[in-house]
Structure 1
Amino acid sequence: MEYVYPAVFEQNSDGSITITYPDLPGCISEGKTLGNAIYMAQNALTQWIEFLLEAKEPVPIPSDIKSIKPLNNQFINLVRTEIRNNRAIRRTVSIPMWLDIKASEAGVSLSKILQDALKEKLGV
């Protein structure tokens, strides 16, 4: 799923850039250059949204970029991330011991087989 949020980029006296998200209090990052700041902004947004989703917290609706008024040393930019939920998770499954022994002897990856079988069963 795609998420796009306005971010405030603030130029610091040492040349670094601090990034904050008005809609995501506490989501802060920093970059040494503009390119690095954009990269760090996307990483921070991705990790924040993933945290909210994992914690089953509501994901705030992004503000209209026009509603955010930057100060003299700031600019506003939209930052995009895509959360695919492809991260592997652990599940406990039960299979007969004899089947586990045969699979081990054959060097079969139970995770891969389970993934393939679920994809086929679900048509995805």
Structure 2
Amino acid sequence: MKDIFIFPAVFSKDEDGYSIYFPGIEGAFTCAETFEEAVFMAKDCLELNLDGIEEIPKLINIEDIKLENNEYVVMIEADMVSYRKKYYSQPVKKTLTIPKWLNDLGVQKKVNFSKLLQESLKKELDLL
């Protein structure tokens, strides 16, 4: 599964700041006072919207985006692994089964079972 996406955002400069929306992603819009804040808010908006949908929208051609006089396109990156780490890092209790002899040996060797499982899962999922 792909975890990094780049989508075009339409920025418009108004008297009181910037308005931002993502063509092709329904409901994906935000605003900000400064350009720096607008880029940050656009990234946050894109990641939030991609996290909430099952199928990633097809990327729209920049040439197909109809712009008004005060609008321009800024490409925004969404790193979904970093987003999930930031917002979904609370611990989740898992029940699992291993042979008693393996558990006893792990306890004897002072193995941190949770840490080992996390590291193994990250390796298995190509997140390391």
Task: Extract unaligned runs of 5+ from structure 2.
Answer: none
Which residue in 1 is equivalent to 2:76? 79
Partner of 2:32: 31
What is the total number of aligned residue pairs between the two structures?
113
Unaligned runs of 5+ in 1: none
TM-score by length of structure 1 reads 0.72
Instruction: Tell me whether 1:40 sits opposite 2:38 in the alignment.
Output: no
Residue type at the aligned position of 1:31? A
Q: 1:117 to 1:67 in 2, by over 3 A?
A: closer
How many Å apart are 1:119 and its aligned residue?
A: 5.5
CA deviation map 1:63-114 (0-9, x unaligned):
0011112101211121112222763462521358x969x96xx6x6432122
The residue identity in structure 2 corresponding to 1:71 is: E
- Structure 2 partner of 1:18: 19
3-state SS in 2 of match to 1:84 = helix
**Matching residue's letter, 2:113:** L
Give the alignment's Cα RMSD to 1 decimal: 2.9
- Residue 117 of structure 2 is matched in structure 1 by 114
* CA–CA distance in structure 2, aligned partners of residues 28 and 66 of structure 1: 20
Quick one: structure 1 residues 35 and 113, their matched pair in 2 at CA, closer, same or farther if it must change by over 3 Å? same
- Relative to 1, partners in 2 of residues 1:74 and 1:92: Cα closer, same or farther, differing over 3 Å? same
4+ aligned runs moved over 4 Å, structure 1: 117-120
